[in-house]
Amino acid sequence: MDPTFIPNPVRSALAPTAEDDGRVIVNIGPSHPATHGTVQIITELDGERVLRADVHCGYLHRGFEKECESHTWHNLIPYVDRLNYCSALINDFAYCGAVEQMMGIEITPRTRMLRTLLSEYSRIADHITCVAAGLMELGAMTAFLYLMTLRDYIYEHLADVTGARVTYSYGRIGGLARDLPEGWLKRLDEILDEYETYIGRIHGLMDRNRIFIDRMRRVGVLTQAQAISYGVTGPMLRSTGLARDIRKDTPYLAYADLDFEVPTGILGDNYDRYVVRMREMDESVHMIRQCVDLLPAGPINVDDPRCTLPDKKLVYREIESLINHFKLIIDGPRVPAGETYYSQEGANGELGFYIVSTGEGQPYRVHCRAPSFIHMGVTHLMLEGGQLADVVPTFGSVNMIGGECDR
C-alpha cells in the first residue's frame, strides 16, 4: 500500500448521482471556520440549494466515557470541564451534583447560591461565544470584537476565583474548591455594568439591521414538533415557542429562590435563537444580581469525610485525617452502588449524567447526555431546503460545542 495514501475516515450517506442532472456533492469541513472545526457536513447541492445534508461529527471524540472508568470520581472533574468548554462550570456542577445525589449529600447553602451564580455567569460566557462566533461568520467583525472583550473580562474574573480562564476544575464533590477572594463581588458588579454597555451596542448593531434580518429570519427553521421528536432542548427548543427550562420546571440548586423569565421564540429560526440567547443573557444577569443579594455566609464544603478532604493542618497532625486524606486521593470517594440520571440546564439544553457505581472509588460507567450531540441529529432538517450560504449561520445558531458533542 502506498505509504502516502490518506484514508477517508467517514463513509458518506450521499452517493454521487448521474453526471448530467446538475447535482453536486460538496464537502464542508471538518477543518472549516464555520463548523467550529469539528463537524463535517456533506451536502448535495442543486445550484445553491441544499437538497440533502449528511452531518458527520466525532472529530473531537476524546474517549471521555472510557477515561471515566479508570480515574477516581474526583479525578474526573477536569475531564468533565472539557465537555462544554464554553461554560465549563455548568459541567462541573452537573457532574458533582450527580455524584452528590448518589452519595446522598446535601451541599451547604453558600455553595448552593455560589453554584447558581457561577452557573449563570458561565451561561453568559457561553451565549456570548455563540453569538460572537455566529456574528463573525456573517461578517460582523466589530460585534465579535466587542463580545470577545467582554468575555475576556469574564475569563479574567473567573481566573481570580478558580485559577483558570477557560477550564476551571472548580467544582468538588460536596462543595467547591475555594471560596471567593476579596473584592470579587465588587468586580462582578463592574463587569455586569460593562455587560450592559457592550450588549447594548450589539443590540444597536444587529437587532434591526436589514442584512442581519435578511440572513437570519426564516432561515434554518425548526418546527416545535420536529424539535420534540428529535430530543432538542435548551435555547433551540425555546426558540420554537415551547417554554421548557429545567431551572424553572424542576428547580435545582437555588433556582427556586430566584425570580426570572424563560424567553421563547416564535418561528424557531436563526433570528429567534439569537433573540432567545440575548434575552437569556439578560435574565442571567438579573439572576446573578439576585444571587449576590441572597448569598449567605458559611462553609463552602460539606463536613463529610466521605468526600471532603480534611483540613491540611489536621492531616499533618492526626492519623485519622491522614488516612482519610490518603484514601480519598488514592482510592477516591466511595459512592454507594446504584445508578442515577441527573440533569441540569446547560447552556445548550439538558445536560445529563447517567452514572453507574459499584461502590468503588472509581465509576463503573459514566454516560454524558450531551445536548450538542442530539442537536447534530436534527441539523440536517434545518439545512435541507436552504441555500448553501445559510449553512453557516444556521450551524452557528445550533451552538455545537465539539467537546460536548463528541465527548
Partner 1 sequence: MTTTRTPIPIVPDTPKVPTFDLFTTKKDELVGWARKFSLFPYPFVTACCGMEFMSVSSTMYDTDRFGAALPRFTPRQSDLMMVVGTINHKQAPVLRRIYEQMCEPKWVMAFGACATSGGFYENYAVLQGIDKIIPVDVYVPGCPPRPETVIDAIMQLQDKIAKQHHVILRGDF
Partner 2 sequence: MAMDAPLVERLQTALGIEVGLSHGMPVLQLAPAQVFDAARTLRDRFGFDMLLDVTAVDWLGQEPRFEVVWHFFATASQTRVRIKTRVPESHPEVESLKPLYGSAAFMERECHEMLGVRFRGNTDLRPILLYEGFVGHPLRKDYPKDREQPLIPYRDA
Q: Which residues bind partner 2 (CB under 8 A)?
A: 3, 6-11, 13, 56-58, 61, 63, 65-67, 69-70, 101-102, 226, 228-233, 242, 244, 249-250, 338-343, 350, 352, 354, 356, 364-365, 367, 369, 373-374, 376-378, 406-407
- Binding at 373: pick from partner 2, partner 1, none (beta carbon under 5-8 Å per type): partner 2
Question: If 0-12 CB within 10 Å is exposed, 13-18 middle and 19+ buried, where does residue 327 land?
Answer: middle
φ, ψ for residue 15, nearest 5 deg? -100, 145
CA dist., res. 104 & res. 156, Å (int): 34
Residue 57 near residue 406, CB atoms below 8 Å: yes
List the one residue from 36, 74, 123, 238 that touches partner 1 (CB under 8 A): 36
Distances (CA, A) of 77 to 110, 160, 228, 259, 300: 21, 19, 31, 30, 17
CA dist., res. 250 & res. 369, Å (int): 18
* Residue 26, all three cell numbers: 460538496
Closest residue by Cα to residue 111 from 255, 295, 336, 293:
295
Residue 204 found at the interface with partner 1 (CB under 8 A): no
* Residue 128, all three cell numbers: 456570548
List the one residue from 151, 238, 244, 277 that touches partner 1 (CB under 8 A): 151
* Phi and psi based region of residue 106 (left: phi greater than 0; alpha: psi -120 to 50; beta: remaining): beta
Farthest CA pair distance, the chain: 83
List the one residue from 26, 166, 211, 256 that touches partner 1 (CB under 8 A): 166
CA dist., res. 107 & res. 110, Å (int): 8
Instruction: Tell the smallest beta-carbon distance from residue 61 to partner 2 (Å).
Output: 4
Residue 173 found at the interface with partner 1 (CB under 8 A): no
Q: How many CB atoms neighbour CB 135 within 10 A?
A: 23
Strand partners, 175: 172
Name the one range near partner 1 by CB under 8 A: 159-167, 194-202, 339-347, 363-371.
159-167
Name the one range near partner 1 by CB under 8 A: 93-101, 160-168, 192-200, 293-301.
160-168
List the one residue from 3, 15, 20, 31 that touches partner 1 (CB under 8 A): 31
Binding residues for partner 1 restricted to 55-94, rule: CB under 8 A: 58-63, 66-67, 78-79, 82, 85-86
Instruction: Tell the smallest beta-carbon distance from residue 12 to partner 1 (Å).
Output: 14
Q: Which is nearer to partner 1, 60 or 328 (CB)?
A: 60
Residue 313 found at the interface with partner 1 (CB under 8 A): no
Residue 16 found at the interface with partner 1 (CB under 8 A): no
φ, ψ for residue 367, nearest 5 deg? -120, 130
- Binding at 377: pick from partner 2, partner 1, none (beta carbon under 5-8 Å per type): partner 2
Name the one range near partner 1 by CB under 8 A: 5-13, 176-184, 254-262, 380-388.
5-13
Q: How many CB atoms neighbour CB 389 within 10 A?
A: 13
Instruction: Tell the smallest beta-carbon distance from residue 341 to partner 2 (Å).
Output: 6
Q: Where does this chain bind partner 1 (CB under 8 A)?
A: 6-10, 30-33, 36-38, 58-63, 66-67, 78-79, 82, 85-86, 129, 132-133, 144-145, 148-149, 151-152, 155, 165-167, 402-403
